[in-house]
Amino acid sequence: MSPKPEWREPRIIPLDRSIEPQIRAAIDGKAKPPGSLGRVEDLATQLALMWHPKPPHAGKATLLVFAGDHGLTEEGVSQYPSAVTPAMVRTFLAGRASANAFAAAAGVDIRVIDAGVAVDMPDHGKLVQAKIRKGTANAAREPAMTGDEARAALAQGHRLACDAIDAGADIIAIGEMGIGNTASAALLMHRLAPAPLNDCIGVGAGQDEAGMAKKHAALERAAARSGASAPFDVLREFGGLEIVMMTGAIFGAAERRRPVMIDGFIASAAALVAIRMTPAAQDYCIFAHRSAERGHTLMLASLKARPLLELGMRLGEGTGAVLAIPIVRAAARLFTDVAALEDVLTGKI
């Protein structure tokens, strides 16, 4: 067994915006009217800045699906029991979840990571055993995890993203599975967006009126228990282990100057933490879609982030991130594969 990685502050180099005019000029010079491909041109520019001085490449993509349980489920914040988390992990490993189907359609590899499932998961060739602890503590009553546990989860997420890049991934996508994690994400958003708690709480995997009342009451107790406001402290107090590992994965991708596809509400909460901790990480984030989960639009606005897709989805698992990857691949090819207009007009093509 390899030793567990140790956490260190990420060394992320912001994109060099001084060369953006020349990159945009190159895109404007392609065989198309300037600006005619809209936001795809913005995406091509972002990718070219990441890869500079090499041309952008967006061939192999890897989806990292992090699974973890939440002590907050003891408060009735979800209609579903924690037993659903390991059941869905088994479904991912069998290749039968929505994320598997979408990844197959988009040509994306999947790695499934046990970040903190509340039961021991049997060894499986497709499962990465990275459990920090068996679920978080109940954040309505005590910190979700210790500082050492949070740092260990950040380090694991960082390592897993770097491992995927070392194995050839040009794009990292992050997704999650964890009953109760919309409650955790709402608390992170409340403190770090920041935003009124009521604006951050949605139905998650599905809640009736009575369930929503329980969820609101539990999160109000959690917020009242701790006044943490520094990003790492907020993560330790209210985060989930899968969310912490996604935060670490964002740092890993950004350090390696690779785009990281941010899925919906939960993954965006991890991005919010990462960006509040290290603002340069935002240069490498591509927000895939706008979730139908209450709070996501406000969370995106707090980051000045513009998602690529709006499909009314709120599943998680990285499904939205995977669906947006073909757009990223197309944007890279706009920069590298499309002829210059001058070559077309002079007969060189």
Decide if 1 is inside a domain: no
Q: Do residue 164 and residue 114 come from a single domain?
A: yes
Give pLDDT, residue 105.
98
Angle at alpha carbon of residue 66, lines to 64 and 72, rounded to 5°: 160
Give pLDDT, residue 2.
52
Give pLDDT, residue 349.
85
Q: Do residue 134 and residue 275 come from a single domain?
A: yes
Exposed/middle/buried for 124, CB within 10 Å: 0-12, 13-18, 19+? middle
Q: Do residue 228 and residue 255 come from a single domain?
A: yes
Q: Do residue 147 and residue 262 come from a single domain?
A: yes
Give pLDDT, residue 1.
43
Question: Which entry of 41, 242, 255, 317 is annotated as an active-site residue?
Answer: 317
Amino acid at 120: D
Give pLDDT, residue 263.
98
Write the DSSP string, 82-112.
Answer: TTHHHHHHHHHHTT-SHHHHHHHHHT-EEEE
Give pLDDT, residue 205.
63
The domain containing residue 278 runs over which residues?
61-327
Q: Do residue 25 and residue 89 come from a single domain?
A: no
Give pLDDT, residue 3.
65
Amino acid at 100: N
Query: Closest by alpha carbon to 77, among 200, 176, 175, 181?
Result: 181
| Beta partners for residue 287, in sequence order | 262
Q: Do residue 52 and residue 104 come from a single domain?
A: no
pLDDT per 10-residue tile (average), the chain, 349 residues: 77 98 97 97 98 96 98 90 95 98 98 98 96 97 98 98 98 97 97 97 74 90 96 98 98 98 98 98 98 96 98 96 98 96 92
Give pLDDT, residue 6.
87
Q: Is the peptide bond before 3 cis (omega within 30 degrees of 0)?
A: no
Decide if 243 is inside a domain: yes
DSSP E strands, 203-316: 260-262, 285-287
CATH number at residue 25: 1.10.1610.10
Is 317 labeled as catalytic in the residue annotation?
A: yes
CATH number at residue 101: 3.40.50.10210
